[in-house]
Structure 1
């Protein structure tokens, strides 16, 4: 796992250094643990849309996604109908992919089911996080046993576009693992945030 020095003199994970927006995402968002259901639904949705694309593409359209999908309010998205699908297919602010759009509506309904069954979406997602596998900072991987287990259960429950790679990217983004590279100035902060986080 590589690091690069950025213009402020700090070393960061190599993948975030292309733009200031990317650096801000790396420092302030990626890998910060959260138990907020709306935030988690946004993260799993954006990771699902990222499949086959670069994350930079998704990041640059994140505000568009928030606008198009009602700021990722789960109950609202769950009620989207065909008119909303058509609206989103004509929305240049997002990635216009019918399968991923309809999957998001489906997944909002699956999220409501998870909330009904577990009390919160956070409780459901965090049940898969392995406290003994928080990322090494030296090995770059595309998935993990915990992510594979999460993907398997989610698919069984009817979620769409949530393969093991997407599940792992979501776990990275949600702070369930700390995959900041060794030597990245943010790795210690992320480790402390995870250590101090109370799992739902």
Structure 2
């Protein structure tokens, strides 16, 4: 049997989804730009499937200037209107305006001398929480930790950062490892059969 046959079942819809599961999801990431990208994309996902966002991800990277918060923070109302006419992204005004606002909130944290990578990773004390779930039904939608992150981000001016979005973000960037115990990627996310670990720090 191919070890990949036992992957977490949520990723088996199409090749890009499988690749995301194998190479990225759950891999501890300490890269500031990538953390910002995932926070924005998880907010864009709200009410939709991650598959929808994943298929649009490359276009998001183009029109959101590679998720450079300094550039995004300067998006004008005219630029936002152009984005809302672009079928390559989720054309939801609240989400697009929140992405721009979140870039400004991100920069505001840095202006206060806050290391945003440490700021986010402090919720798990700087290292991944490794869960041992056996089925998708056991995986929570949110936790007290994601609720705390959500509360603090909202106070800092972020939007579309509810506790469920924050937990999905934590899963995506490896703050929590929610690969099922039967998945070949559980023990070493990003280092499943035939894979090499993505360098993140």
Change (3 A) 1:191 1:71: closer
1:74 pairs with 69, 79, 89, which one? 69
1:101 aligns with 2:96: yes
After TM superposition, the score normalised by the length of structure 2 is 0.87
Write out aligned runs for 1:29-68 (5 A): 29-68=24-63
Stretches of structure 2 lacking an aligned partner (at least 5 in a row): 192-200
CA shift digits 1:89-112 (9 cap, x unpaired): 011110111000000000001111
Paired residue total: 190
How far apart, CA to CA, are the structure 1 residues paired with 2:12 and 2:119?
33
Distance 1:133 1:96, change over 3 A: same
Q: Assess if the C-alpha contact under 8 Å between 2:30 and 2:117 holds in 1.
A: yes
TM-score (norm 1): 0.88
2:19 to 16, 24, 44: 24
CA offsets 1:118-137 (integer angstroms, 9 cap, x no match) = 44321111111255843223
Q: d(CA) in 2 for partners of 1:38 and 1:54?
A: 23
Do the aligned partners of 2:23 and 2:190 also contact (CA within 8 Å) in 1? Answer: no
Shift of 1:20: 0.7
Q: Which has the higher contact order (CA 8 A, sep 6+)?
A: 2
Structure 1 unpaired stretches of 5+: 193-199
CA contact (8 A) 2:3 2:184 kept: no
Matches within 5 A, 1:144-183: 144-183=143-182
8 Å Cα contact 1:10/1:185 also seen in 2? no
